[in-house]
Amino acid sequence: MEIWFLGTGAGRPMKHRNVTSIALRLPDPDCSLWMFDAGEGTQHQLMHTPLKLNKLEALFVTHLHGDHTYGIPGLLSTRSYVGGNGPLQLFGPPGIREMIETALTLSSTRIDYEITYHEVSEGIVYKTERYTVEALPLEHRVPCFGYRITECESPGKLNVERLRQLGVPAGPLFGRIKKGEDITLPDGTLVRAADAAGKPQCGRIITIAGDTKPCDNALRLAQNADLLVHEATFAAGQEEKAHLYGHSTTVEAATTARNANAKKLIMTHFSTRFVDEDLAGLEEEARTIFPESYAAHDLYHIEIPRPKE
């Protein structure tokens, strides 16, 4: 599982920093792409990565401000041209469907695939065989949501040699045992999954907070997360200005991570007042509260490992 920051700026693009968009590449067997927000120029940013737009399966929008949404119509249009003909799930606050369909209709944009719109509210908004996505409202100037992605635990590694000793033939029975099922062989031998498969692997938890000032729901979404992505529009000491516009500072993002018992914090959505040379200082501010704090820059990406027991 890999996360990419396609844009890390707030409000408007800068020469070396685009507006907000995040991509989450899922591991085997899905290998699909989920995106969170798509500000202006997002599809241009994708061209500088190995990510493939035709793999885009779901787009989650935190809120309708332009720096998080103006790139969506172009992104959806280009998806048709690069072989992305499978259905797309599109999530966002009330108004997301009207916003996107109006842009596509008035521009006579042809979409060759089905878009299913989900106007989200509090609770579980999406569930697949391997993932659950929960949304909670945050505190911003317009309706805004944060998302918590929880990966299901996966079966432990099979002890193939042990299965052979027990006389289990390779094939479907291996699969059933890997899923945790006990089986009975034709000779009556009971083979317990616990005796032949390792302990299930815990799933990962990724929290992506939209624009927000500090609030209880951000803390709830981030609880025990392996990775918290949180806006840090302003620096320490600028709390009054941050809250006036519905934003957070570096130390407030770090405080949320610490109080939620998250494992790692990546800050993004930096004000245009900060240039790239300022990021190290912003990172250090956060680390006074939460040592595992990092400031993202455009095209920054990391692997998200499975949690260790």
DSSP string, 126-194: EE-SSEEEEEEE--SSS--EEEEEEEPPBPPPB-HHHHHHTTPPSSHHHHHHHTT--EE-TTS-EE-HH
Q: What does each C-alpha distance from 23 to 38, 132, 301 come to in angstroms?
A: 9, 17, 9
Is 65 labelled as part of a ligand binding site?
yes
pLDDT of residue 185: 85
| Single-letter code of the amino acid located at 23 | A
Is 68 labelled as part of a ligand binding site?
yes
List the chain pLDDT tens, one digit each, 309 residues.
999 999 999 999 999 999 999 999 999 887 899 999 999 999 999 999 999 999 999 999 999 999 999 999 999 999 988 988 899 999 999 999 999 999 999 999 999 999 999 999 999 999 999 999 999 999 999 999 999 999 998 766 777 887 888 788 888 888 787 777 788 888 888 888 777 776 778 899 999 999 999 999 999 999 999 999 999 999 999 999 999 999 999 999 999 999 999 999 999 999 999 999 999 999 999 999 999 999 999 999 999 998 875
Closest by CA position to 221, among listed 233, 204, 232, 208: 208
Closest by CA position to 40, among listed 3, 10, 85: 10
In angstroms, the CA 124 to CA 202 distance is 20
Contacts of 279 (CB under 8 A, 6+ apart): 270, 295, 297
Backbone angles phi, psi at 88, to 5 degrees: -120, 135
Cβ-based neighbour number of residue 36 at 10 Å: 26
Cβ-based neighbour number of residue 237 at 10 Å: 12
Backbone angles phi, psi at 160, to 5 degrees: -60, -40
What are the boundaries of each domain within the chain?
Answer: 2-154+202-303, 160-196
pLDDT of residue 292: 98
pLDDT of residue 137: 98
pLDDT of residue 226: 97
pLDDT of residue 76: 97
Closest by CA position to 233, among listed 216, 221, 220, 246: 246
User: Both ends of the chain: CA-CA distance in Å?
Assistant: 18
**If DSSP codes are grouped into helix, strand and coil, which group holds residue 209?**
coil
Is 44 labelled as part of a ligand binding site?
no
Is 226 labelled as part of a ligand binding site?
no
Is 63 labelled as part of a ligand binding site?
yes
Token pair 């949404």 is at which residue? 69
User: Within its chain, how far is the Cα of 114 from the centroid?
Assistant: 22
Which residue is catalytic, options 28, 37, 67, 278?
A: 67
Single pTM value for the model:
0.89
Q: Which architecture characterizes domain 2-154+202-303 according to CATH? A: 4-Layer Sandwich (3.60)
- Among this protein's residues, is 187 annotated catalytic? no
In angstroms, the CA 283 to CA 278 distance is 9
